[in-house]
Structure 1
Amino acid sequence: MSNDVKFPPKPKRTKLKIKLGITLAVLAALYTVALTTTGFEVRPSASSAWHTLQRIFIAPLFDADTRAAFPELVGYMLETIAIAYAGLSIAAILAIPVGFLAARNMTGNNLSYIGKGILNAIRAIPELIFAIIFVAAVGIGPYAGVLAISINSIGMLGKLYAEVIETIDMSKVEAIKASGGNRVQAMWYGVLPQVVPEFSSYAIYRFEIDVRASTVLGIVGAGGIGFPLLLATQQRNWEDVGMILYVVVIFVTIIDIVSGKIRNKLV
């Protein structure tokens, strides 16, 4: 018996190489035509990038007129925080039933798919799109921002809530039912004590995100400090832009520090 192993012949790749070469040649020709026939004109700026950065980050600290606007900007920022808080308060409550609906160990696979489908549909749409829709529906102002923040936050909080519910210890729930407790008692004494701390932690973390999102929503007329930022940018008032950014950074930093300490105590 011969020990020689016969391998099948290697497939010919000549045709594949020819097709690949033709494709690359066509793409190269198209890019060459596009680059040679398209006009690229860059309009020079009246000021350099370094000068603009100085006006944004350094000039506001020494310009008296810009510093005088600080209290007004703080008011706009407080409005932004209020929008985020109101939107989160609505979302944190409404996300609970949706989260339970999306949890497999609470409703089963069929209803869980429905709940997760709702949450996926909400998360697929950015809050900026929701803000544009609600501004057109209810008009310019903080109310549209609150609605946009609340709807968008439901999608994220509902998903996080569902994941928390799916990881709870079901033996406690079964023990309450076995001792004669009904479904409501099992939910109240077996499920909620396990999920409330993490629900609160996620809600606080979402509040930090909503504050940043509310800053952007003002650009489309949803209230808050975003509109003054947009107006200053369009008018090239870089000193005002810098002062607004300072206000945003200060408040966001304070919120991050405070919320971080609260989350550490909850979890």
Structure 2
Amino acid sequence: MQTTITTPSQRHSLWQRWGWLLWVLIIGIIYFWTINGLKFTGFQESASAVSKSILHGLVHPTWSYVYDGSGEDLVSLILQTLAIAFLGTIVSALISVPFAFWAARGPKEHYFLRSGSGKIVLTLIRTFPEIVLAIMFIKAVGPGSYAGVLAVSVHSVGMLGKLFGEAIENMDRGSEEAITSAGGRSSQVFALATIPTIMPEFLSYTLYRFEIAVRSASILGMVGAGGIGTPMIFAIQTRDWSKVGIILLGIVVMVLLIDSLSEQLRKRLI
């Protein structure tokens, strides 16, 4: 009579081979429970007709809106959206640098009081969504591009400050140590070692943030903060789906071009 003994390595091999079935079962149960909880009720009788109208407008955009020289056409408002995103990103990048050094933990910092307080401030800044900031600034300075720039700038400070701070914490400090050992002063270490080391990452993060700011600036106009979002919300409210279609097409093309250009620039920097 033979007795088969399963070794730990064999059990591990069986788990690697068939363990995925358990995960498939768990995910399937979660999906079934989620879908089963949805209530597909409340559709209006006109839902089908409205959906067809939206789809027809999106695939038949108003090409005459692309450019008509009025300053309120698609090209002009896309350029305004890019200007809001660009200016907001540049302003936030400059302001974020001192915040980053405040929040970055130094190699000789033991109690993290300075860096901890800086991280708390940056977290508080990031707490406010851009659209909420836009509404607040619209009340303060009035509707228009200026409110959009302020909203993008303030929110981006919280994000870029965090990313810049992490870049400072994780930087290679070999060049700093070399200049210090050669008798260099703190100002020389900062100018000749710290700045050249972290600048490529700073620029890369700024470009990445600009990509996000372009998308945000496209939405902020829907609450009156300037850019392409303003005519889009008006077109939606008046059910001018052909105009909505050309605006969405313009936003897609703009985002694709910005993403492609930014990716190429970041590859050259890093």
Say yes or no: TM over 0.5: yes
Letter in 2 for 1:133: M
CA distance in 1, matches of 2:42, 2:104: 55
CA apart distance, 1:50? 4.8
- Contact preservation (8 Å) 1:100, 1:106: no
1:143 aligns with one of 116, 139, 146: 146
- Contact preservation (8 Å) 1:55, 1:242: no
Q: Give deviations 1:47-87, integer Å, cap 9, x for gaps.
A: 53551343232111xxxxx2111111111011000000000
Q: Give deviations 1:113-162, integer Å, cap 9, x for gaps.
A: 11101110111111111101110000011001001001101111111111
Whether 1:264 and 2:267 are equivalent positions in the alignment is: yes
Letter in 2 for 1:135: I
Q: How many residues align?
A: 224
Letter in 2 for 1:111: R
Q: Give deviations 1:7-42, integer Å, cap 9, x for gaps.
A: xxxxxxxxxxxxxxxxxxxxxxxxxxxx9xxxx754
Whether 1:67 and 2:63 are equivalent positions in the alignment is: yes
Once the two structures are aligned, what percentage of the paired residues are identical?
A: 43
CA distance in 1, matches of 2:74, 2:108: 48
Q: Which residue of 2 aligns with 1:229?
A: 232
Q: Which residue of 2 aligns with 1:244?
A: 247
Q: Which residue of 1 aligns with 2:44?
A: 43
Relative to structure 1, the CA distance from residue 262 to residue 186 in structure 2 (aligned partners, 3 Å threshold; closer, same or farther) is same
Q: Secondary structure at the match of 1:105?
A: coil
CA distance in 1, matches of 2:224, 2:205: 28
CA apart distance, 1:97? 0.8
Q: Which residue of 2 aligns with 1:78?
A: 79
Q: Which residue of 2 aligns with 1:207?
A: 210
CA distance in 1, matches of 2:249, 2:257: 12
TM-score by length of 1: 0.80
CA distance in 2, matches of 1:79, 1:247: 13
CA apart distance, 1:215? 0.5
CA distance in 2, matches of 1:59, 1:258: 29
CA apart distance, 1:188? 1.1
- Contact preservation (8 Å) 1:84, 1:207: yes
Letter in 2 for 1:254: L
Structure 2: 5+ residue stretches without partners: 1-38, 68-72
CA apart distance, 1:110? 1.0
Pairwise CA RMSD: 1.8
Q: Which residue of 2 aligns with 1:180?
A: 183
Q: Give deviations 1:176-220, integer Å, cap 9, x for gaps.
A: 223222222111111111110111011001101000000110011
Structure 1: 5+ residue stretches without partners: 1-34, 61-65
- Contact preservation (8 Å) 1:95, 1:158: yes
Q: Which residue of 2 aligns with 1:194?
A: 197
CA distance in 2, matches of 1:107, 1:148: 36
Q: Which residue of 2 aligns with 1:58?
A: 59
CA distance in 1, matches of 2:240, 2:47: 14
TM-score by length of 2: 0.79
Relative to structure 1, the CA distance from residue 133 to residue 162 in structure 2 (aligned partners, 3 Å threshold; closer, same or farther) is same
Letter in 1 for 2:87: A
Letter in 1 for 2:66: F
Relative to structure 1, the CA distance from residue 41 to residue 174 in structure 2 (aligned partners, 3 Å threshold; closer, same or farther) is closer
CA distance in 1, matches of 2:54, 2:259: 26
CA distance in 1, matches of 2:220, 2:108: 36
User: Who wins on radius of gyration, i.e. which is larger?
Assistant: 1
